[in-house]
Chains A and B, each alone.
Chain A
Amino acid sequence: EAGVVQSPRYKIIEKKQPVAFWCNPISGHNTLYWYLQNLGQGPELLIRYENEEAVDDSQLPKDRFSAERLKGVDSTLKIQPAELGDSAVYLCASSSPGGPTHNEQFFGPGTRLTVL
């Protein structure tokens, strides 16, 4: 089966510009996560979706970050305006609600964002 798909893989923008990342989770996975990973650190959760509902967005900087998961499948994460400190890898992950792989998160390849 296809894994989690993310695009673009790399993005370079100037500060104050907007940027958007797209994620297509594994088919049938109801739960979708957006993480931020800085160099030398573990992934940090930004937002978690159960179907189309954002059930945990407590770590999402809502002044500049927004996310949506229309129809409970694909998701988009947006930053507007981007700041220098936003440079990081943005990871999308998905998981299924039950079965032997319950709780296992499948990560996409990530989008490496560089803000100049």
Chain B
Amino acid sequence: GQQVMQIPQYQHVQEGEDFTTYCNSSTTLSNIQWYKQRPGGHPVFLIQLVKSGEVKKQKRLTFQFGEAKKNSSLHITATQTTDVGTYFCAGRNDYKLSFGAGTTVTVRA
């Protein structure tokens, strides 16, 4: 079945630095979504990418969808303490959305 893998599992970042988290699927995806879950909270939708090679930006967050539609990345610039949480990618194939295990981000001031 479809598998979505994320790396790294943990990312400890100095405030102000940049980092990237990666998402890879074993199958070609129709689209990919990213969610953020704050500690003790529930997943909250961030963005959806549909087109091959698509790039979308939300302030300091940049999302990319690979040309083969099997991988994606999230790049955060100038990390802030508000970026703390777990970032999940979720790949869609047909109507099924498969979540990765997430990248848990902590920030040191």
Contacts and interface: CB of A to CB of B under 8 A. Distances in A.
Main secondary structure of the interface of A (DSSP, over half): loop
A101 B33 CA distance: 12
Interface string A77-112: 000000000000001000000000101111111100
A105 B45 contact: yes
A40 B101 contact: yes
A72 B59 CA distance: 38
A107 B102 contact: no
Interface of B: 4, 31, 33, 41-45, 48, 88, 90, 92, 95-102, 104
Contact of B101 (A42, A107, A109): A42
Given A41-B102, A42-B90, 18 more contacts: A40-B101, A40-B104, A43-B43, A43-B99, A45-B96, A55-B95, A56-B95, A56-B96, A101-B45, A103-B31, A103-B33, A103-B92, A104-B48, A105-B33, A106-B45, A107-B44, A109-B42, A110-B42
Contact of B88 (A42, A48, A101, A110): A42
Nearest to A91: B42
Given A107-B43, A109-B42, A41 B101 contact: yes
A45 B99 CA distance: 9
Contacts of B45: 101, 104-106
A116 B101 CA distance: 26
Contacts of B104: 40
A109 B38 CA distance: 11
Interface of A: 40-45, 48, 55-56, 91, 101, 103-110
A41 B98 CA distance: 12
B30 to A, nearest CB: 10
Contact of B33 (A41, A44, A104, A109): A104
Nearest to B102: A42
